[in-house]
Structure 1
């Protein structure tokens, strides 16, 4: 109700206040989702063939469990490569591992092989199979950094700078195979440059317009003329984080 009242007030104020159209857009960085899979579907179905393929090309175990998870008994990789120079891949995984976060959410080169480079251990990454854990890979042209539940555990220095990458879900651990694993979701995001206007009061905003406030990018939900106190982080009826 509060959001509706604010929108109604914006319409009335627009006729009484000399509104300045939003101008002076500047380049800003936002994260764009280029892969997102929550593995919804009927139990026994295969994962989306446009997104995933068996890494070794042979028959394997990779099926949806019907509860929004992927039951995996073999390595599964993305069908496409990611040529972006910077990005972050994340996966929520349940499975016992003696070591090797870089295997649970692994990285392959454009030919499907293991990239050349050197690996540095930053911290322990042993997990049991009782709970889900969040694995992440942050990549740059020169490095890949793995984290486990927000804790950096491995850093890989790439021999071939900036080459395209593929991602692989892999149950192998320390030279051995576990009894399988469940994958809750996978996302891949990459930063992109967009034009965003700086937010200010007494300014007319249009639906879909990007606005920057305190280094956060918002998308305008409704046409309105802003007033003091209507900052994007305070009025979710008018602004949504982009």
Structure 2
């Protein structure tokens, strides 16, 4: 059974173009996708920017192509299950409350701030406590009513992305900068432990577990598979597992 890939070609996310060179059958999301989504043969699987794929989940004819459950991929949702694996203290608060807390008394003179959601209206970054007012003012127009994660600053070390299916890693790579290299065995074991835990809690069978390998193993974040970069992972393994999952989900419909 052949699988149709629905690919979103985007200047800032080039992995779908790379996938297109390795698959037999694909269609490209048209520029006027808001009024004309592509007609595709089933089963199908999507790969592209989160913005477009979130819209795709609202299209009954092709929503099956997106495996990711974006609501469960918010830190405010999955932290309750994997907090012990973060390896750092972290709090989730409203963006507009950032200036209401004496962070130097909670952590130190520097904190790490990231958005709650993976659409990321601003980049995760380290912020000096004395510059918190300026930080809030800079991103107020994007995040005023959003939640954010504030955590202590730790040395993460090397970071690895592990694509997991049913609790097992099927491809992996260091990230974000080349040269890329495979994740060491202890990182794979750690990622599978976290993925299995989340699978048992009802999360998607397809997840990415980003792991930092510094003085200890830490979860950097939990992600999906339809909009997450492959980096140096084996693209054939990625494609095979995505297509197998698409076929299984189609047969279960």
Normalization by structure 1: what TM-score? 0.28
More strand by share: 1
Where relative contact order (Cα < 8 A, 6+ residues apart) is larger, the structure is: 1
